[in-house]
Amino acid sequence: MCAASCQLSPMPMLSLDETASCACGAVSLRIKGPVLSMLVCSCLDCRKSTGTGHSAVVLMSTDSVAASGKMKGHTRTAASGAEITRNFCPKCGTPLFAKTARAPLLTLLPVGLFDQPDWFSPRQAIFSRTHLDWDTLDEALPRYDTYRDNGGF
């Protein structure tokens, strides 16, 4: 499973105290706590869910994220083989957050959900084996075919 990724320690000196909402305002999120990881992912599931070449994700402890409003979720098997549930607003379709059986104590938040995500600085690119050449990423960003060598995010 994900012993390493479920036990992530906070990134040095970055804690969020943010609110975010869907495009129509029917769902809002309150995010308060330490950031555990920031990454981009080029797996097919992330590409389909974003409609772009990769997703930009911030990982938080599930207890750092509170949601209000009606949401809908879609569950499928991800490239890791684990089930992932992506939650979205049923009125406007805005992606809100995801949870994976691989790391049940973590919540994956799409960075585009935040109004001013100037704090976002990805530390790794995962599922680079399916990264598209036209989707330009910083060459200095560490890349992994699937997950980091230790199996974590």
The pLDDT of residue 135 is 86
| Token pair of 85 as six digits | 């549930």
The residues, any chain, with a CB within 8 Å of residue 113's CB and separated by 6 or more, are 20, 22, 29, 94, 95, 96, 97
User: What is residue 152's predicted lDDT score, i.e. its pLDDT?
Assistant: 58
pLDDT at 18 (0 to 100): 95
Q: For the domain that residue 117 is a member of, what is the CATH number?
A: 2.170.150.70
In a domain, 54, yes or no: yes
In a domain, 22, yes or no: yes
In the chain, how many domains are there? 1
Write out the residue range of the structural domain in which residue 117 sits.
18-130
Per-residue pLDDT at 11: 52
User: Is 111 contained in some domain?
Assistant: yes
**Proportion of the chain above pLDDT 70, given as a percent:** 88
Q: Is residue 151 part of a domain?
A: no
pLDDT at 6: 44
- Look at residue 51 and tell me if it is in a domain: yes
Query: Is residue 109 assigned to a domain?
Result: yes
Average pLDDT per block of 10 residues along the chain, 153 residues long: 43 85 97 95 83 89 97 89 93 96 94 94 88 87 78 57
Q: What share of the chain is helix, strand, coil (3-state, %, to 5)?
A: 15, 40, 50
